[in-house]
Structure 1
Amino acid sequence: MLKKLPLWIKVGGGVLAYSAGCVNSTALVGFTHLSASHVTGNVSLFATAIAHKDIKMLLMVCAVLLSFLFGSVISGYVVGSTNLKAGRRYGTALSIEAVLLIISLMLFTQHSFLGHFFATMACGLQNSMVATYRGAGIRTTHLTGLTSDMGASIGNWLAGRGTDKKMVMFQAMIWYCFCGGGVTGAILYVKIGYLALILPIVIVISSAMLYHWIFLKWEKFHHEQPNL
């Protein structure tokens, strides 16, 4: 059970979930009408395309699925582990994610389906940056497993068993942040189209800068102090 969840994890998780929700809604409302931040629904579309022998849809969805996978591969290569730990190259991974989102925006504004591939790749990278923290599952681009974990925890609480209330609150925060980002993305798309992606781009770039220039600098200063 997670007894203490560091503040930087709480804030970072919520901010990134909000960003992913915004990206996903923008993709869904846009002309591709496909998810960018998770795989399950797209796999169902892939299966449906096979059943209907819709080769065009089959190829498009397959490319989207591979894009999410490739984003995860990038994360694994850059970060090196799915276990959350301060000091790893999350800032670099976030910088790459921002570049992918910028490319996605440029392609989407040209009405190119390729924009969806880069948005999905960015989400795959973000989702794989952090998978666990001391045994607790942390996902910031989809809610299925998180909702299941919340439900199980609530069930245990109702049955009088021990429950990590801090983790349940954190999961609820991720849930609402993703939902809030989704609402924001849909509203912005209606008003300004794919320029709605500027918001998650700014969020991810800001997150990368904060990690590089504040957190890591503080860690370096802390370790350089003489032992008393």
Structure 2
Amino acid sequence: MIRKLPRWVEIGGFCLALIAGAVNAIGLLGFAHQAVSHLTGTSTLLSVALFHQQWPQVLHLGLIVVFFVLGAVLSGALINNAVLQLGRRYAVALFVEAAMLLLAIPLLMDASPWGHWLASAACGLQNGMVSTYSGAVVRTTHVSGLFTDLGTMLGESLRGHVLDRRRALLYLILISGFLVGGIIGAAGFIDYGFNALAIPALAAALLAIIVLIWRHFSRQSLPAPRAPD
């Protein structure tokens, strides 16, 4: 699957991982140390809250999960495509993600839980979008699977299997993007607080514009259909 993807996937994946890393860093610093780009830690906190019967916390954490899933649902409704073929629908999804992150800023500054839920929905949308076009091979909003797959590949190479260098490179690029995004998000939160969410939001919007420009020029470069004889 990875070998069949076009070369620019690495660049797009890096940018998306950077966006998610920035959002997650801001979330960890501003959402009571709760991750927002994935649900592993949130699900654990939900289990603990259920055990202690902390019902307000259960409701809040449960809605974080629900909104993440709703973001993925929106991604499936927008894109509905299992093949990597960039077009207007991907741009729309990125614009929606950017809008969610921007709308989350004033809500978070007013201490509204809707800000957290919107940020979670934005990450669910992005994760669903990437999973859709890559057949669930590439993830950009969390790195646990990437580290696992990379370790498995290295272990298989020790047994004599040929190392898929492009696949390993892609995973390293995605991990690097997430880490760089985390640095940007942390630095931004220290200086600007929740306004730092504008950074990944603008990055998503810029990526959407690039997709639209690429689509425009790629369609112009297609040969004109031949007239019937």
What band does the TM-score fall into relative to the shorter chain?
over 0.9
| Aligned partner letter, 2:206 | S
Aligned residue type for 1:121: A
**Structure 2 contact 105–195 (Cα < 8 Å) conserved:** yes
Consecutive unaligned residues of structure 1, counting only runs of 5 or more, are: none
TM-score by length of 1: 0.92
Alignment of 1:162-201 (within 5 A): 162-201=162-201
Deviation of residue 132 (structure 1)? 5.9
1:9: Cα distance to partner?
1.1
1:201 offset after TM fit, Å?
1.0
Instruction: Count matched residues.
Output: 226
Q: Which residue of 1 aligns with 2:85?
A: 85
Task: Give, as a single letter, the amino acid of the residue that structure 2 aligns with 1:185.
Answer: G
Match of 2:107 in 1: 107
Aligned to 1:12: 12
- Which amino acid in structure 1 is aligned with residue 114 of structure 2? L
Name which of structure 1's ranges 85-94 and 64-73 shifts more when overlaid on structure 2.
Answer: 85-94
- Residue 42 of structure 2 is matched in structure 1 by 42
Moved more, 158-167 or 9-18: 158-167
Q: Percent identity over the alignment? A: 36
- Deviation for aligned residue 1:3: 3.1
Amino acid at match of 1:202: L
Deviation of 1:138 after TM superposition, in Å, equals 0.5
- In the alignment, the residues of structure 2 paired with residue 145 and residue 191 of structure 1 have an alpha-carbon distance, to the nearest angstrom, of 31
Whole-Å separation in 2 of the counterparts to 1:199 and 1:49: 32
**What code does the residue aligned with 1:223 have?**
L
For residue 222 of structure 1, report the CA deviation from its aligned partner: 2.5
After TM superposition, list the pairs within 5 Å mapping 1:37-186 onto structure 2: 37-87=37-87, 89-131=89-131, 137-186=137-186
Contact 1:185 1:196 in 2 (8 A): yes
Corresponding position: 1:215 with 2:210: no
> 2:31, 2:116 within 8 Å by CA — same for their partners in 1?
no
Residue segments in structure 2 that go unaligned for 5+ positions in a row: none
SS in 1 for 2:84: coil
In the alignment, the residues of structure 2 paired with residue 190 and residue 21 of structure 1 have an alpha-carbon distance, to the nearest angstrom, of 15
Counterpart residue type for residue 145 of structure 1: G
> Which consecutive aligned stretches of 4+ in structure 1 deviate over 4 angstroms post-superposition?
132-136
**What letter is aligned with 2:71?**
G
What is the letter of the counterpart of residue 185 of structure 2? G
Aligned CA RMSD, in angstroms, stands at 1.8
Cα deviation, residue 190, structure 1: 1.4
Mapped to 2, the partners of 1:80 and 1:22 lie a distance apart of: 27
Give the TM-score normalised by structure 2.
0.92
DSSP 3-state at the match of 2:221 = helix
CA distances 1:21-74 after superposition (whole Å, capped 9, x unpaired): 000110110044321100111111111111111111111100000010000000
Say whether the 8 Å CA contact 1:32–1:113 is kept in structure 2: no
